[in-house]
Structure 1
Amino acid sequence: MLSNVMTALSKRAPLLLALGVLIGLAAPGLAEIARPLLAPSIWILLTLAAVRIDPAQSIAHIRRPGAILATLAWMLTITPLLAWGILTLMPVGSPGLAAALVLMAGAAPLMSTPSLAQILGLDDALAMLVMIVATMLAPFTLPFIALHLLGFDLGIDPAVWSLQLTLFVGSAVITALILRRVLGTARIAKAKQSMDLAMVALLLTFAVAIMDGVTERLLTETGYVLTVTAIAFLSYGLFLVGGTIAGLPFGRRVAQTIGFVGSNRNVGVILAVLPAAAHPDIFLYFAIWQLPMYIMPAVLTHLYRRVAAATP
């Protein structure tokens, strides 16, 4: 009975995540209470994702690293530079919003992406490898691109920010390696469904917590918040389509995985170490960014499953 419930909840994870952001908007008091859980939930999510790396499933991608390297280059260097170029040609008016867009464009994938990729019938092994490697590289690439190359001032020294990101990510990965050693592959595989549900619960917590303050701005600056929301959905679509097209040389299923991974960016890690004095529009956009990330997988579920079933 419990197993059937867990299976049903796992299959409906995209829908549950979509409901999470709506709860955060509808219950601002709950979002304020959940706010202190923001950083811990992200750290635990990263740890759970790292624990589930299966060397046997990943070996094929490691032996043929073309898709991994191409995805990393796309996510960590090409898309933030493209975002900067587009914003140079079409300024958004707010320096905070511009900085948020570039930071988001250079962020690693969302830590639930491998689980969602599996649910959607995509290449979850590729998604997992890209997520882990990109998360480990982002503390070095993101501060350099955003602060050195593009000159965004976030009120924090690039070296300090890089160190904080490295410690945040590194501690989670080390903890995961210890847990994997202690638990063993068999136990981890057996607990996969439980970990999927734990990740969904943590993502729901994060979704509620990050909406703290958004409802108030929505009521007082309705037009601006709706504009930011439209930009967020447009950005998601551009990442999805652009990544899929960029990945076509590696086959349809890999291309769709690259598009999906590249359109779900983990701004939570950035938020965890971002100074409180940073521009408020950065926090606003990062919160609004959860809407397409949590809603679109639910919208795309049937499409991806049909394509996956038709792919040889």
Structure 2
Amino acid sequence: MIARLLRLVAANGRLVLVAGLVCGVAFPGLAAAMKPYLPEIVAGLLFIAAFRIGPREAAGKLRDLGSGAGIVGLYQLLLPLGLALGFLFLGISAPLAAGLVLMAAAPSISGSPNLTLLAGSDPAPALRLLLMGTAAVPLTVVPVFWATPALGDAGVVAAAALRLLILIVGAGAAAFVLRRLILKTPTPEALQVVDGISALALAVAVIGLMAAVGPALREEPLRLVGTLAFAFAANFGLQIAAFVVLGALGVSRERVAFSIVAGNRNIALFLTALPAAITDPLLLFIGCYQIPMYLTPLILGRLYAGAKADGPRA
């Protein structure tokens, strides 16, 4: 019975994410209560994604690792550095500008393999980018913060990134061991059950990340609308741009995963690393940013369905 319900959830995973967004906005008390448990929820997401993919697909080929390193350098170093220097040259220091730089400097969100799976594509490249991108943060964040003095100490962020990397590696290793022990050769039905658990976990995670959006809807609706429009433009703009460029370059298998990662970054990483004076003005943007993130499979699903990419594999 439970397995049948989870397969039903998997079949309607995109709508389950929307339900999570609605709950996060409609029940701000619940969102605030869940916020302290986000690190544990993130670890759960990583565990489920790694368990679903398996160690063989996660490791990939040497060629895949090389292309992943290039994407990480482009996404987390060249893009945010270009944005930071551009804002510095133009004299723009608005909170949303700082938020955009932080978003671009962040590694992939922990749920990127789950989102890639919901978009109907192979989640393994997304998991590899998550691992490689998080490991690279201590190096890539230094020049970005140097070009954006208002963001504060890059060393604090690097330390937070190292803690996140330990969490990711630990959750992934545990998932790979369990996968080898109990689900070495999974059936399609078994994978659908895991997909259902993944969708539910994503929906739960977004509730805690929406803590700032519900109050803004009631108290500052105009500011909320403007911030939400900016968040959609930043997230979907980067995804669509990456999808077009990767298609022009002939990338096929990793195209969807790399595009999803382009716009969906773990900006929440900086909440635990930077002082409140810097992050408080960004809380609404971070909350609004979750909305296009979790609507990615629903809104951009048709775009990604046309990509020449492999589907999910065991």
Scaled to the shorter chain, the TM-score interval is 0.7 to 0.9
Query: Displacement, 1:213?
Result: 3.1
Q: Which stretch shows the higher mean deviation, 175-184 or 204-213? A: 175-184
Query: Displacement, 1:292?
Result: 0.7
Aligned to 2:183: 187
Task: Provide, for residues 174-232 of structure 1, a one-character-per-residue CA deviation record: whole Å limited to 9, x for no partner.
Answer: 34324533552652664644443343333223311122232222333222221111111
Query: Displacement, 1:6?
Result: 1.8
Unaligned runs of 5+ in 2: none
Q: Distance in 1 between matches of 2:170 and 2:89?
A: 42
Asked whether 1:234 is paired with 2:233, we answer yes
Aligned to 1:305: 305
Aligned to 1:6: 6
Aligned to 2:243: 244
Q: Which secondary structure state, in structure 2, belongs to the residue aligned with residue 227 of structure 1?
A: helix
Shift in CA distance, 88/21, structure 1 to aligned 2, threshold 3 Å: farther
CA contact (8 A) 2:256 2:309 kept: no
Q: Distance in 2 between matches of 1:12 and 1:91?
A: 46
Task: Provide, for residues 159-184 of structure 1, a one-character-per-residue CA deviation record: whole Å limited to 9, x for no partner.
Answer: 23312321232134134324533552
Aligned to 1:150: 148
Return the TM-score normalized by structure 2.
Answer: 0.83
Aligned to 1:170: 166
Aligned to 2:202: 203
Q: Which secondary structure state, in structure 2, belongs to the residue aligned with residue 152 of structure 1?
A: helix
Q: Which secondary structure state, in structure 1, belongs to the residue aligned with residue 254 of structure 2?
A: helix
Aligned to 1:78: 78
Q: Distance in 2 between matches of 1:270 and 1:145?
A: 16
Percentage identity across aligned positions? Answer: 24
Taking the TM superposition and a 5 Å limit, the aligned residue runs for 1:40-59 are 40-52=40-52, 54-58=54-58
CA contact (8 A) 2:108 2:265 kept: yes
Q: Distance in 1 between matches of 2:272 and 2:195?
A: 22
Taking the TM superposition and a 5 Å limit, the aligned residue runs for 1:93-132 are 94=94, 96-132=95-131
Shift in CA distance, 272/16, structure 1 to aligned 2, threshold 3 Å: farther
Query: Displacement, 1:61?
Result: 3.8
Query: Displacement, 1:55?
Result: 4.2
Shift in CA distance, 179/298, structure 1 to aligned 2, threshold 3 Å: closer
Output the amino acid matched with 2:227. Answer: V
Shift in CA distance, 266/196, structure 1 to aligned 2, threshold 3 Å: farther
Aligned to 1:161: 157
Unaligned runs of 5+ in 1: none
Shift in CA distance, 60/92, structure 1 to aligned 2, threshold 3 Å: same
Number of aligned residue pairs: give it.
307
Task: Provide, for residues 146-167 of structure 1, a one-character-per-residue CA deviation record: whole Å limited to 9, x for no partner.
Answer: 422322334xx43233123212
Shift in CA distance, 210/298, structure 1 to aligned 2, threshold 3 Å: same
Q: Distance in 2 between matches of 1:63 and 1:310?
A: 17
Q: Distance in 2 between matches of 1:65 and 1:136?
A: 13
CA contact (8 A) 2:10 2:196 kept: yes
Q: Which stretch shows the higher mean deviation, 159-168 or 178-187? A: 178-187
Q: Distance in 2 between matches of 1:228 and 1:159?
A: 29
Shift in CA distance, 140/70, structure 1 to aligned 2, threshold 3 Å: closer
